[in-house]
Amino acid sequence: MLVALLAAYLLGGGGVSGSILTPAVVKDIGKRIEVSVEEPARAEAMAVIGDLKGEVKAFGKAFGKSGKELTKLYKDHGASASEMQAVLDDLDTEWAAAQTRSIDLRFELKESLTAEEWKAIFGG
């Protein structure tokens, strides 16, 4: 229950899927690139998508790990608020780092595509 509430608060929805970049969203962007972008730009863009998939997956693991830690602490009668806060602080640090890396990858992707290709992938 605690993990679900934290997910809603931290990610704006039900779990990691409440975030903007989910594995499904990144996969969909990759499919759009395959259809809309010609070689050699396609290969470069797909490499960025591979990095983005890795970033989303890594944060998902970090999120899951923090949920397990919080659940364990929540059930522990002797656990302190500072222990729980430390887990949340670590998650917050990882989230900020993941967002920074994802933004960097977004700009890498932008550099590999023309404005027309970008519009074809992401719309108007």
Single pTM value for the model: 0.73
Identify residue 103 by its one-letter amino acid code: I
Per-residue pLDDT, 54: 93
Are the C-beta atoms of residues 91 and 59 closer than 8 Å to each other? no
Q: What dihedral do alpha carbons 92, 96, 98, 104 form, nearest 10°?
A: 180
H or E element in which residue 72 lies: helix 41-75
Residue 19: predicted pLDDT: 55
| Residue 38: predicted pLDDT | 87
Of the candidates 82, 84, 91, the one whose C-alpha atom is nearest the C-alpha of residue 63 is: 91
The predicted structure's pLDDT at residue 124:
66
Mean pLDDT by 10 residues, the chain (124 residues): 43 47 88 89 90 92 93 94 94 92 93 92 82
CB 26 within 8 A of CB 49: yes
Token pair in block for residue 26: 């990144």
Contact call for residues 4 and 14 (beta carbons, < 8 A): yes
Considering only CA atoms, which of 123, 124, 88, 78 is closest in space to residue 11?
Answer: 88
